[in-house]
Structure 1
Amino acid sequence: MTLREVYQLGKKQAQSGEIGAYCTDFDVLCLFEHCFGRDRQALIVHGAERASRPQMETFFSLLKKKAAGEPLQYLLGSWGFMDMELAVGPGVLIPREDTIPLVLETVQRLKNFSAPVILDLCAGTGAVGLGVARELPDAKVICVELSPLALPYLERNLSRYGEGRVRAVKGDVLNGPDGLSLPLVDAVVSNPPYICTGELPGLQKEVRQEPRLALDGGPDGLSFYRAITNNWLGLLKPGGVAAVEIGNGQENAVADLLKTAGVSQITFSQDITGAIRVVIGNKNVCL
């Protein structure tokens, strides 16, 4: 078969639903590029070339997995976030563009800080910590992550993009920083689990493939925000920045938790859909 015939057959299988219900034309194109190294433009020029059998077998195998509900990002092995291509796979939360406002708002608040030290809690792939570090060339970032499945992806991404300024620490955010020998910091930032436990079964099938540890925010979705405000903001210097990503409708509850922990100048920021996605403030200089 030619490259064009392989691509068209993949689209036909996806559109007909004969291999499953969770595969779109976009998925087909991404997997085709991944397997054959040809994007849509190259396919126009080189579509008459013969496809190798190993590449064909890999392509159709991945299509079936995607159609069965496996996340596209896991099948590709990496996913773009800002200007980075982050390693991802089973066991780590997939970086999403919803999180970019968290990075940008944190950077904005830290722009007048000299050589800030930033603590990224529930770091996952390191998307937030790395994003902030790349926008602030004199910053140092400590990424705290518990999952033994997520840590290898985090370390791989830090090795590629961290420039020696971002390091990983294994720690449980719910249990606090005791025993981790962490310094005082200029910012605490986090995209923690924030989905209510009872809502997890109703998530899209692909999202349910992501680690429960990175999704489950407790009965009311606020367990990690309580842990952050009660146990981690003690490491935040006066005037330092506290910034978190939130779920839909959580802004007031999270803002109240931050206020109780001595954070003021609190503002909300939206994602590209217009939903409030970030709560950010500064720790009071005098309590």
Structure 2
Amino acid sequence: MNIELKTKRALVTASTGGIGFAVAKGLAQAGAAVVVNGRSERSVNDAIARLLAEVPGAAISGVAADLSTAQGVETLLAGLSAIDILVNNAGIYQPQDFFAAGDDVWNAHWQTNVMSGVRLSRALLPAMVERGWGRVVFVASESARNIPADMIHYGVSKTAQLALARGLAKRVAGSGVTVNSVLPGPTLSDGVAEMMKGEVERTGKSLEAVMRDFVLEQRPSSIIQRASSVEEVANMIVYVCSTQASATTGAALRVDGGVVDDIV
């Protein structure tokens, strides 16, 4: 399959590293003009430089904005021209017991994981509908369906993303615009590497080996029995953004290695 996006312009939020960077790279390789986003000018500039080195000749630009607030979203929107593809990848996670997680923890996860996508979709979807083509993808998590006991606040925010994506798909029905969510499982992202840094140092094992142990212990239903790479997740997202995926909308597409134990 040859995915061709040379006439499209994509925005990938939180794309200076991890899954977001891999998605930005995949879209750029398919020919899309890509806008990267991160919290700081330095991280955005570094990501642009890396992308241009890895995809020579790509059309890459960037906007620094913290999407945890309405003002940050407005800052991002002010730096954009027309967008055909929106990948809502901005998200945070923080293991914390339900009884210790105060309103501040819940609000932080809600504002970043849910409201950033609400605000960007509300601003960018109408023009996609008017043009008769567009793609919106929410990067959710298998935790949306397999709520982690130590991150209930995170799981709830990810479940909300599935509902949001499904509702928006129905809202723009028949317009040529698709809205989907993609559900990664345990993934070898920059954030996971930071979270597992202590365990890597303690055991002397590689990150891949530590994450394999984590998957086998904490996600024993995994069929691949390892963590996914960011590229494996990005491949699904790039496909969903393609013209070939025109009949896929309102879907929650799993890239979880089979962690969620069902057949649908």
Q: TM-score, normalised by structure 2?
A: 0.46
Larger strand share, 1 or 2: 1
Structure of higher RCO (CA pairs closer than 8 Å, 6+ residues apart): 2
Q: TM-score, normalised by structure 1?
A: 0.43
